[in-house]
Structure 1
């Protein structure tokens, strides 16, 4: 009886696990020439295999110095990944209270689009590109 219960629990857990539950690193190249520096040309999404995701790019490393936690939601083949960079400063020294980001990654075509929007400001910056899955994750930061 206990064996059957554990098998059912394991099966339900396996069926309810999101498609991005496996530990994966998506390395993305974006055309972000018109983003005024707010969308990096290189970006990475780190899925830890436990439902967590981190994002890393040049902007995050500049302001926060390490990958940051993000939220991910799956809708069909698309992953919608959101994160914020608090207290950024633009190139003329103006303080931006928070910069909100939304990335949409199609896991089938590997196409990605990223939109950055300063909270409480009308501007939007964007980039589009493609991603590839990196197999070797030994170098990915674990903190």
Structure 2
């Protein structure tokens, strides 16, 4: 995992991501969880990318050791980038199961966000569950 600063903030980063051609990414963490169960405003973005250096250059991020508001991670398994969902606002997010698992492993308020997302998933299974044979991005409207 690499740490970065989006110098103009997360909203500007999301705008940049929407307008650039890079497709090999998937938001996870708080930004992605808000697609289904908004908990609190996101303070940082966690993003799966195949090539963190390429993504950081494409999105105008600055490397940092402290104070990061963006974490870029190469996924350990290809499924994090294959079972994605394209939100109506143009942001690609990881599957809700992946987002919940990621939030459970981050300190701070993230585990509470994961609980909120899992609660939403429990009551809306027909909206998020994909058939196992379905691979690739699909579309969804943000909550």
Interval containing the TM-score (normalised by the shorter chain): under 0.3
Q: Normalising by structure 1, report the TM-score.
A: 0.28
More strand, by proportion: 1
Highest Rg: 1 or 2? 1
More helix, by proportion: 2
